[in-house]
Amino acid sequence: MGHRYFPHTSADIAEMLKRCGMEGLEDLYSDVPDSLKLKRGYDLKPQMSEKEVRDFFEGLAIKNQPLTCFAGAGFYDHYSPAVIQSILSRSEFLTAYTPYQPEISQGTLQYIFEYQSMMTQLTGMEVSNASMYDGTTAVAEAMLMAVAHARKRNRVLVSATVNPIYREVIDTYAHYHGVTVDTIPEKDGVTDIAVMEEMLNAGDVAGVIVATPNYYGILEDYTGFADKVHAAKALLIMTAPASVLGVIRTPGEWGADIAAGEAQSLGMPLNFGGPYLGYMCCSKALIRKLPGRIVGATTDADGRRVFVLTLQAREQHIRRDKATSNICSNQGLMALYAAVYLSLMGAKGLREVNEISAAGAHYLAKKLVETGAFELKYPDKPFLNEFTVKFKGEVKLIDFMEVCTSCGCLPGVMLADDELLVCVTETRTREEIDRYIWRAETFSKATLPSFAENRNIND
């Protein structure tokens, strides 16, 4: 036995390797590049007491540098009400994670049903599934859904203004499903509708994917988009951060057939990269093509309201070649998180969150331009809480980024050597925004050393 906690003997391991046609355990990792392999031992003591373990991880946590976040690009630093954590830990929700047996899964099934109901209202669509892994896979699944609906068409158009990380996952899904993905070019930061019409005229398009707001923070005007897409017998897929749908026109109002995207903005902490929550909603006509779980409400023999899984079109329930997707579970805990957040905030609270965010973003954008260090890349385009600026300073934008980070501020996401995507949410205070403005103004007038020495706005 190689390790006291591993049940496999050396003979067991040898037999498994033989069955796999390998000589040693290292052969299992032969496809992993050497540059990614750890070539040293783990920096761990051979044994530690409970207190030593706690101290060890607290020491690791201290190394994390908390930053005042002005970055967005699809993931947003919104406030998380403390009561959510308390509600999530209640035993009523600790029923079977995979709710195949409704008799013992009513807690899980009910909160998923409530989540679905609220997401349909938020997106303006008729149907929602039980959630998905994250926004990128949700949009990629929406692409496959459009292709499945079109049957003999396997070409999808994606606007150049869609988040690049979504596009990367879309391309990966498309590669292994034989789907052709083409890009609708952008013009002045928005989707070029004239070029889209030309591409649709080919008659082989199954779906079109656009974003609101788009990757640059712009609120695109999609008037007439749905009509043009539907005239070409294709489906319109729209993606948006869930929170902003509380104040802008919804995918349903734009005439979209499918709404899919990331719901992390519904109060979920960034947590250094997850977990996240993908949402997917659609028109009722497409419900049988909708991947993942769907929870429905009914009544039992005694007339009591109960919840069950319905319209299950996953490979666990039907023939594999007839399944709509291999998505076999949803982000259950995160769906509960979103349901509790939306229940607490309500329509009024969600509107207030976005109004505060928008006011802060417009104030910051105006003041950044006044510093002379930045200019808006798309000055004539409307935005909500995120905008793109061009850096005009004599030094490099990366220097501004590095100095701000050293001062405890993440000023945005670099899109190019001189372009910065900046976001403001309701968690950013006026003092934090003014400190950002001061840094930009000081940076444009001072040398790097003097700027780094004066880290406080009051200095």
Structure tokens at 351: 């509107």
Sign of CA pseudo-dihedral 444, 446, 452, 455: negative
Instruction: Give the three-state DSSP class for 308.
Output: strand
Using 50, 70 and 90 to split pLDDT, how confident is the model at 43?
confident
Confidence at residue 330, expressed as pLDDT on a 0 to 100 scale:
76
Using 50, 70 and 90 to split pLDDT, how confident is the model at 429?
very high
Give the single-character DSSP code of 185.
Answer: P
Confidence at residue 162, expressed as pLDDT on a 0 to 100 scale:
98
d(CA 355, CA 74): 18
Structure tokens at 308: 């069950």
pLDDT tens digits, one per residue of 136-172 = 999 999 999 999 999 899 999 999 999 999 999 999 9
Instruction: Work out the burial of residue 248: count CB atoms within 10 Å of its CB; fewer than 13 is exposed, 13-18 middle, 19 or more buried.
Output: middle
Q: Is the pLDDT of residue 459 over 50?
A: no
d(CA 123, CA 212): 12
CA distances from 175 to 163, 169, 181 (A): 19, 10, 9
Strands (E), 33-179: 68-69, 127-128, 155-159
pLDDT tens digits, one per residue of 88-140 = 988 878 776 677 788 888 989 999 999 999 999 999 999 999 999 999 999 99
Q: Of 321-325, 337-341, 389-393, 423-427, where does mean pLDDT reach its minimum? A: 321-325
Q: Of 21-35, 68-82, 132-146, 304-318, where does mean pLDDT reach its minimum? A: 304-318
Residue with tokens 């199954």: 206
| Cβ atoms of residues 316 and 292 within 8 Å | no
| Cβ atoms of residues 220 and 210 within 8 Å | yes
- The per-residue b/e assignment along 100-134, b for 16 or more CB within 10 angstroms, e otherwise, is eebeebbbbbbbbbbbbebbbbbbbbebbbbbbbb
Q: Of 36-50, 140-154, 347-361, where does mean pLDDT reach its minimum? A: 36-50
Average of per-residue pLDDT across 232-256: 98
d(CA 433, CA 367): 10
d(CA 128, CA 245): 15
Using 50, 70 and 90 to split pLDDT, how confident is the model at 455?
very low
pTM of the model: 0.88
Structure tokens at 373: 């260090």
| Cβ atoms of residues 17 and 25 within 8 Å | yes
Q: Quote the mean pLDDT of the chain.
A: 91
Q: Give me the count of residues in the chain.
A: 459
